[in-house]
Amino acid sequence: MIKVMVFDVNETLLDLRALRPAFTELIGSAEPMGEWFARMLHGSLVANHTGQYRPFAMLGVEALLVVAQKRQVHVSADQAADFVSGMQSLPPHPDVLPTLTTLAERGWRLVTFTNGSQAAAEAQMANSGIAAVLDEVLSVESVGRFKPAPETYLWAASRLNVEIDEMLMVAAHDWDVIGARSIGSQAAFISRPGAIWGVPNQPPAIVGQDLTCLLDVATA
């Protein structure tokens, strides 16, 4: 039985494409933005492996400076930090607020869980209007490890006072889904534009182009 729905934030709930104009202004093109975000995730995996946790925003700055250097574009650390801070003002995808509101009205317990810092996560939820329908905002900052490390999901389940198999992890990233499932969580994959299931494992039973696929889950 699912007792709580836990949502990834960036790309799953919030639309990173809103950063494209600012990225273009810095780099000269929005085309490498996917590389930038992938490098952030790459940095988080290296941080996990080497035990060198630091805020996700710092990884974002580091990744942007590398992308700029590869293209021989000068971007200062302050400029990169200003750009990354824009992640705190991302808009939600159009389906997010209506679907989460319906789920909340049906009695579902709704939580976000992100690789971003606690302060950044709370700002994102407040600025996007999502905070009003949430029960809690969680960050891996409390663990000092990034998803998909198993201990992050176990910590979230413990914090929410549920068994790991009573948690539904909802994400637009196959690695997040796989990470949660690897230690017993249930999961749903949201195939946002550009989000492809790219791992050999079978996708979860719940797959949809947006959050409305969750409305088919039995009423709490």
Per-residue pLDDT of 161-180, as tens digits, reads 999 999 999 999 999 999 99
Residue closest to 185 by CA, chosen among 157, 217, 209:
157
Q: What confidence score (pLDDT) does residue 217 get? A: 83
In angstroms, rounded to a whole number, what is the distance separating the alpha carbons of residues 28 and 31?
9
pLDDT band at 220 (very low <50, low <70, confident <90, very high): very low
pLDDT in tens, 6-50: 999 999 999 999 999 999 999 999 999 999 999 999 999 999 999
Q: What is the mean pLDDT of residues 183-202?
A: 94
Q: What is the mean pLDDT of residues 103-109?
A: 96
pLDDT in tens, 60-73: 999 999 999 999 99
In the chain, what are the domains? Answer: 4-15+90-216 (3.40.50.1000), 16-89 (1.10.150.240)
Question: What percent of the chain is predicted at pLDDT more than 70?
Answer: 99
pLDDT band at 218 (very low <50, low <70, confident <90, very high): low
In angstroms, rounded to a whole number, what is the distance separating the alpha carbons of residues 69 and 75?
8
In angstroms, rounded to a whole number, what is the distance separating the alpha carbons of residues 90 and 87?
5
- Give the chain's mean pLDDT: 96
Position with higher pLDDT, 194 vs 166 = 166
| 148 CB-near residues (< 8 Å, 6+ apart) | 175, 176, 178, 179, 180, 182
pLDDT band at 219 (very low <50, low <70, confident <90, very high): low
Q: What is the mean pLDDT of residues 133-139?
A: 98
